[in-house]
Amino acid sequence: MALRHSYEKSGNFLFKHRGEFPLVLFAIAVPVILLTNNAFLHSSNFVYWSLLLGSILVSFVGQLIRFVAIGKSAKQTSGRNTWGHEAKALNTTGIYSIVRHPLYLGNFFIWIGIVCFVGNPWFLVIACLLFWLYYERIMFSEEVFLEKEFGDEYLQWSMKTPAFIPSWKNWVKSPVKLSMKTLLRREYPGVSAAIIGFLFVDFVRSWVLSGSMQWLWAHAIVLLVALSISFVLRTLKHSTNLLREDDRS
């Protein structure tokens, strides 16, 4: 099999299972936390809250990137499907005029924020490398699909738009308005997963440092709020028409 075809095949496989990438990070995070001396975090509230707020800020930047990409996406341009690549229209304006893969860029910041909260610089380096190896194949297979689907239109756009590091040189304002309904309908799983990620790291670290499982009220309250909001939005999405829009995916 040619290397190009191998990349495309593995990229298609990883695309279908991209939702499992956080589970890989969680699995690696447990031994990393066990081997990391984070006692200083619990001996200094200032250091702990500085690390927590800084990590949340990094993840929030990623969430904002996703909000802009999803909230201003037109119908049939992107989705949360897992069966394979699908697009009937090409996004080339707004955030897509400065970077070709804003959703993956957003994912990077979201999960790197959680990795930062672990407090191990080597884990940060490893996570960056894993993310690149994982998503490089996905981006490759996606671009092969888009080139087949849109031909010269895609090639002209891709040649002037960077894949992952944004450039404002060719900024084009999007004609699509930001839709809060789209964000509420499509982004609640990702936000909930990020919140659970921070809770997971904090819970495991507290367990390691104390030597026993300690379920704090703060953990329970944050988790309950996150799950409740997700449950309400999921119910509205699947059981009502309140979040539906004819001109959005």
Q: Output the pLDDT for position 92.
A: 87
Q: How far is CA 188 from the centre of its chain?
A: 12
Q: Output the pLDDT for position 77.
A: 61
Cα dist. 4→108, 127, 128, 154 in Å?
25, 25, 24, 19
Cα dist. 226→114, 188, 194, 210 in Å?
16, 9, 10, 26
Structure tokens that stand for 41 in this block: 């975090």
Q: Which domains, ranges and CATH numbers included, belong to the chain?
A: 3-176 (1.20.120)
Under-50 pLDDT residues of the chain: 82-84
Segment 149-178, tens digit of pLDDT: 888 998 999 999 998 999 999 899 988 888
- Look at residue 98 and give its three-state secondary structure: coil
Segment 113-142, tens digit of pLDDT: 999 999 899 999 999 998 988 888 888 888
Please count the residues of the chain: 249
